[in-house]
Amino acid sequence: MTQDTCTDVVVVGAGPAGMTTASCLAESGVRALLLDEHTAPGGQVYRSVEKVTDKRPADLNVLGSHYRSGSKAVERLHSSGAQYWPGTSVWEISAAEEPALAVGVVRDGRARMIQAGHIVLATGAMERPTPFPGWTLPGVMTVGAAQTLLKSSGLVPEGRIAVAGSGPLLYLYISQLIKAGKKPQVILDTRPRASLQTKLSVLAALTVDPASMFRGLGWMREVRREIRVRERVHRLRASGVEKLSSISYESCDRQFTDEVDLLLVHDGVIPNTWLAMSAGCRHHWNVQQRCWVPDITGAGQTSRQSVSVVGDAAGIIGADASVLHGEAVACEVAACLEGKQPGVVGNAAHPLLAWQHRTLRRCLDQFYPPAQEFELPPDDETVVCRCEEVTAGEIRRVAALGCVGPNQGKAFTRCGMGPCMGRKCGVTVSRLIAEHHGLSMHEVGHYRIRPPVKPINVGQLADLETDADAHTD
């Protein structure tokens, strides 16, 4: 076994949580290996921050001070002594029943196994699926996708643009776009009329974390001043031949049709749980955030002894809280490796800040509820599984046949059997089945996630060498 196929801790994901966890571990003398599929650190929130700082500093003004602050975590990573492998994707974590804990990766086109004492999953968040008729057309993308293009390549959308959905990221991106010299034609706000509870939660968050709230409300105000907003949007539909050419929707009892070249959608973010689920970690449905979240004890310990999760992957907390969480989880993991009980200090790091973040998060969840029609697409023709092109109607049909869970639904319709493995359809499929049978999401459950969680070819797996081979070759 060579030196570089074995380490104390493997951390997956180089966003703020992963970078901080790896840095913290390395600084305390633990051998930490940080893996990330991108070619540079930063995750999504700080995507390409090194490159932008170096080569396109003018863009820092567009992207904002919060983005700029991402350099801190990157600098810490580089000076911490943690090993860092970019361009490395993780396709599996060995099953709990197997004797040795290992991570299967693909790097430079080759598959290999890395043995570790502990794994920390910092796989971050992904945008909540937003199915509606026509969402698979070229020309429909997520707001996050457009923001990634702005950060990583300085690209700005052309032509007539509509932005639909809700959430802080939506307003942040549009404010960045305005600074970059481009205004969308229209914003389609899918939120229902704000309830009293929502308004109260805003007040609560204002007192608890005024800085973040003012920043967020500032983006919204700025954006709404400059761009037409349609309220309480529903029945969104995208149309076009070969690519998007128009959208239609209802707003305040009126019907609209707009010609657009690009439709950006966003309906909040949810934890990227695929690797944790494939590792057999138990998850539960978080009713407030409307997403699957790993069962966690302590700072980040999952139901599987040698696997921890950190940052947004453990439940949406945002970039700043992810850094704090990274430090707490690093302490917990380090103690675990030494066979010690994690100290109270580790778990209770910065308790006031953590409480502030939680309260802010609750307010955001209240203020930006997921759109009802994206969760439960009313039109049977809406494609729910993008990869296998399975419609909402088809899912409803097999639910009526007796499917009480998404795995039977998968067996009967092929939904979830495509390359994305249910990332874009899993929540919707479970929702549709739950609705038909009057069950809770917890009772319905989620897809059984199996390896490979990221692409690997037959030949790459066939060529995989393990320790057993090393002795016979």
> Which parts of 84-143 interact with another protein (CB under 8 A)?
89, 92, 94-98, 102, 104, 109, 113, 126-127, 136-142
Residue 117 or 280: the one with the smaller Cβ distance to another protein is: 280
Is the separation of the CB atoms in 229 and 187 below 8 Å?
A: yes
Tell me the Cα Rg of the chain: 22
**Which range binds another protein by CB under 8 A, 164-172, 311-319, 351-359, 419-427?**
419-427
Per CB under 8 A, 393 contacts another protein: no
Q: Which long-range contacts does 335-343 make (Cβ < 8 Å, 24+ apart)? A: 336/118, 336/301, 337/8, 337/9, 337/30, 337/117, 337/118, 342/298, 342/299
Any idea what DSSP says for residue 266?
A: E
Residue 180 or 227: the one with the smaller Cβ distance to another protein is: 180
Considering only 407, 435, 436, 442, the residue that binds another protein (CB under 8 A) is: 407
Rounded-to-integer distance, Cα 127 and Cα 129, Å: 6
Per CB under 8 A, 461 contacts another protein: yes
> Residue 307's closest CA among 284, 342, 275?
275
Residue 334 or 423: the one with the smaller Cβ distance to another protein is: 423
Per CB under 8 A, 398 contacts another protein: yes
Q: Which of residues 241-260 bind another protein (CB under 8 A)?
A: 242-243
Q: Which of residues 195-224 bind another protein (CB under 8 A)?
A: none
CA-to-CA dists, residue 235 to 121, 131, 247, 372, angstroms = 37, 11, 10, 11
Per CB under 8 A, 404 contacts another protein: yes
Tokens 């074995």 identify what position?
A: 6
Q: Which of residues 141-160 bind another protein (CB under 8 A)?
A: 141-142, 144-146, 148-149, 152-159
Considering only 59, 189, 267, 312, the residue that binds another protein (CB under 8 A) is: 59
Q: Which of residues 284-303 bind another protein (CB under 8 A)?
A: none
Per CB under 8 A, 227 contacts another protein: no
> Residue 147's closest CA among 166, 165, 174?
174
Rounded-to-integer distance, Cα 383 and Cα 377, Å: 9
> Residues in contact with another protein, total (CB under 8 A)?
90
Rounded-to-integer distance, Cα 140 and Cα 163, Å: 10
Considering only 116, 388, 394, 429, the residue that binds another protein (CB under 8 A) is: 388
Considering only 458, 471, 472, 473, the residue that binds another protein (CB under 8 A) is: 458
Is the separation of the CB atoms in 142 and 163 below 8 Å?
A: no
Rounded-to-integer distance, Cα 135 and Cα 471, Å: 52
Q: How far is the CB of 23 from another protein (least distance, A)?
A: 23
Rounded-to-integer distance, Cα 451 and Cα 94, Å: 9
Considering only 379, 420, 435, 436, the residue that binds another protein (CB under 8 A) is: 420
Q: How far is the CB of 372 from another protein (least distance, A)?
A: 22
